[in-house]
Amino acid sequence: MANTSHGSVNLHAVARGQMQEHGFLVDFPPPALREAAQAAEPDFARLPARDLTGWLWSSIDNDDSRDLDQIEFARREPGGTRLYVAIAQVDPFVHQGSALDEAAQHNTTSVYTGVQTFPMLPERLSTDLSSLLEGQKRLANVVELLLEDDGQVHESTVYPAIVINRAQLTYDAVARWLEARAGGSTTQPSDITPPPVREASVPGTGGGVTRRMTEKIRQAPALQEQLLLQEGAAQALCQRRHEAGALTLQAIEFRPSVSPEGAVDLAARPLNRATQLIEDLMIAANQAAVGYLLAHRFPTLRRVVRTPKRWDRIVELAAQHGDSLPAVPDAPRLEAFLKRQQSRDPDRFPDLSLTVIKLLGRGEYVINLPGQTAPGHFSLAVENYSHSTAPNRRYPDILTQRLLLAAGSQTPIPYEVTELQALAARCTEKEDDANKVERAVRKSIAAVALANRIGEDFPGFITGASDKGVWVRILHPPVEGKLQGKLPRLDVGDPVLVRLVETNPLRGYIDFELIKRT
């Protein structure tokens, strides 16, 4: 176990306490562990699946990730690119109604606290048998898309296949190689649904991983060709979505972590070209999954972000920046404002992005039946969108996988509509709870790191304002805390200068007082 004690505060115990407070299982029930221990690889020779093990599949993920959910391959064709995204088949190991399924259904998501990961599935599955690890033969669901050069998806389908990940790569290494090849140019992340970021690598080791992975790419011309094909396709997909009104948002993720030796890392982790690449391919794969189910007249579990309830505040922010937006929500007009602001003030654009993200509101899961109209995803500017590409760590993805498998094998829908609706509500609830746990533990980590900075002043901006209080995020490090004392009227996005007055690592409190608006 990591050395997570800091003075009188055991951060490991804080993380477990937060999990329990929000109703999560912190340990797998014995029946689930027994099922995981008995799980075995399938007899690949008997599987009714295509053998695609000879292709140059690759994965791009974090330095220390072992729960690999998807791998990619691309092939150039006249007038376009044929993309393949292979998604780990988890359902064969987690049977509907089993003890493993009940445990996964209870938590519905893996929780990444920065101190300890609480996986949705036992590691024997999520980081081994159902993980697309390099060199391992695995069963997957392949999403195949024919993409025209202008970013339009001409056709798509889904089918089972046997695959082998030939190159396990990392975001930092791929981004470094892509940027070096382009002479240092970079692209900007575009959306608010980035690939999952797990705990950071142990400080001091990430650079070595990146160097090794970058060298792996440099020594493999065929792999280089794959990465260029995939990025070209991703950029075409991204461009088409932005033309439809997808939002340019570049919030810097704050993922504090504690190393096994107990060192606290408060580094902010901006997205890069490789995270953008994977994000765009996953959005396309998720849309294709919905399209496949619609074609088979199956219900779909959608991921939606409804029309912003605080659009009026977004309009105010645009006016403060010398721009204007209409009185009714308009994604293309908001995107145009964001692009102009990114060009005008790139250094502060991440702060504006986070403010807009807060005002857009949370995502949720809903069930859509054939013939019904479903809410879309406002910030992605897409209507038919699911979560299907991370079944090792999200229960909605397992549900969609089961629907896809049933549709492909022409077997009955495995759930009643009322069951699916209840599960969608459960997944939304537990995702919100997971976010609360992760925020609370990160604040405990940050409170440890900031304990010796009481009395210092920090520039920041308001991230929340309600009857329950006012919250501020300082810029360096990007830590969020609560404003104390009598306050003037403040709203999300207001720039302020604050002073750190107290930290409580055990409770996860970081308290500031307002010095002035800025």
Q: Do 142 and 288 have their domain in common?
A: yes
- Do 133 and 165 reside in the same domain of the chain? yes
Mean pLDDT of 18-22: 97
Residue 487 predicted with pLDDT over 80? yes
- Rounded to an integer, what distance in angstroms lies between the CA atom of residue 351 and that of residue 459? 12
3-state secondary structure at position 163:
strand
Mean pLDDT of 97-110: 98
Residue type, 110: S
Do residues 342 and 416 both lie within one domain?
no
pLDDT tier for residue 254 given thresholds of 50, 70 and 90? confident
H/E element holding 466?
Answer: strand 457-466
Residue 481 reports pLDDT greater than 80? yes
H helices of 108-262, in order, are 123-124, 171-181, 206-218, 221-243
| Cα separation, 225 vs 64, whole angstroms | 25
Does residue 484 sit within a domain?
yes
Domain count, the chain: 3
Question: Are 386 and 256 contained in the same domain?
Answer: yes
Whole-number average pLDDT of the chain: 90
More confident of the two residues 278 and 243: 278
Q: Is the pLDDT of residue 197 over 80?
A: no
My answer on whether 321 and 296 are in the same domain is: no
227 in any annotated domain: yes
Averaged pLDDT, 86-110: 98
Q: Is residue 301 part of a domain?
A: yes
Which tens digits make up the pLDDT trace of 345-403? 888 888 898 899 889 888 999 999 998 887 888 888 888 899 999 999 999 999 999 99
CB 112 within 8 A of CB 199: yes
Q: With 60 as the cut, is the pLDDT of residue 186 above it?
A: no
Confidence (pLDDT) at 255: 76
Q: Taking 70 as the threshold, does the pLDDT of residue 450 lie above it?
A: yes
For residue 336, the enclosing domain spans 311-361
390 and 410 share one domain? yes
Three-state secondary structure readout of 438-454: HHHHHHHHHHHHHHHHC
Give the pLDDT band of residue 185 (cuts 50, 70, 90).
very low
| Among 427, 445, 463, residue at a domain's last position | 445
> What would the DSSP string read from start to end of 21-82?
HTT--SS--HHHHHHHHH-----GGG-SSEE-TTS-EEEEE-TT-----EEEEEEEETTEEE
**Domain match, 404 and 503 both:** no
Query: How many Cα neighbours within 13 Å face the side chain of 456?
Result: 13
**Residue 10 domain flag:** no
Q: Where residue 199 falls among pLDDT bands split at 50, 70, 90?
A: very low
**Do residues 342 and 205 share a domain?**
no
Residues 318 and 386 in one domain: no
Residue 276: phi and psi, rounded to 5, are: -65, -45
Structure tokens belonging to residue 424: 């969608």
Can you tell me the mean pLDDT for 51-73? Answer: 95
pLDDT of residue 249: 84
pLDDT recorded at residue 7:
55
Contacts of 447 (CB under 8 A, 6+ apart): 503, 504, 505, 508, 509, 510
Q: Name which of 307-311, 426-430, 461-465 the model is least confident about.
A: 307-311
Q: Which of 445, 471, 490 is the last residue of a domain?
A: 445
For residue 6, is pLDDT > 60? no
pLDDT at position 191 is: 33
Residue 194 has pLDDT above 60, yes or no: no
Residue 370 lies in a domain: no
Query: Is residue 270 pLDDT above 80, yes or no?
Result: no
Instruction: Please state which of the ranges 156-160, 190-194, 303-307, 463-467 shows the lowest mean pLDDT.
Output: 190-194
Region of poorest pLDDT, from 102-106, 277-281, 476-480: 476-480
Task: Examine residue 186 and state whether it is found in any structural domain, yes or no.
Answer: yes
Read off the pLDDT of each residue in 234-254 and give the average, rounded to a whole number. 85
pLDDT attached to residue 206: 52
301 and 395 within one domain: yes
Q: Point out the least confidently predicted range of 81-95, 210-224, 247-261.
A: 247-261
| Within-domain flag for 372 | no
In this predicted structure, the answer to whether residue 468 has a pLDDT above a threshold of 70 is yes
* 289 shares a domain with 326: no
User: Residue 368: its pLDDT value, please?
Assistant: 95
| Same domain, yes or no: 207 and 122 | yes
Q: Is 413 left (phi over 0), alpha (psi -120 to 50) or beta?
A: beta
CATH of the domain at 509: 2.40.50.140
Residue 478 predicted with pLDDT over 90 = no
Residue where a domain terminates, one of 413, 445, 477: 445
Q: What is the pLDDT of residue 187?
A: 38
Instruction: Please check whether residue 12 lies inside any domain of the structure.
Output: no
> Which is higher by pLDDT, 370 or 190?
370
Give the pLDDT confidence of 107-131 residue by residue, as tens digits: 999 999 999 999 999 999 999 999 9
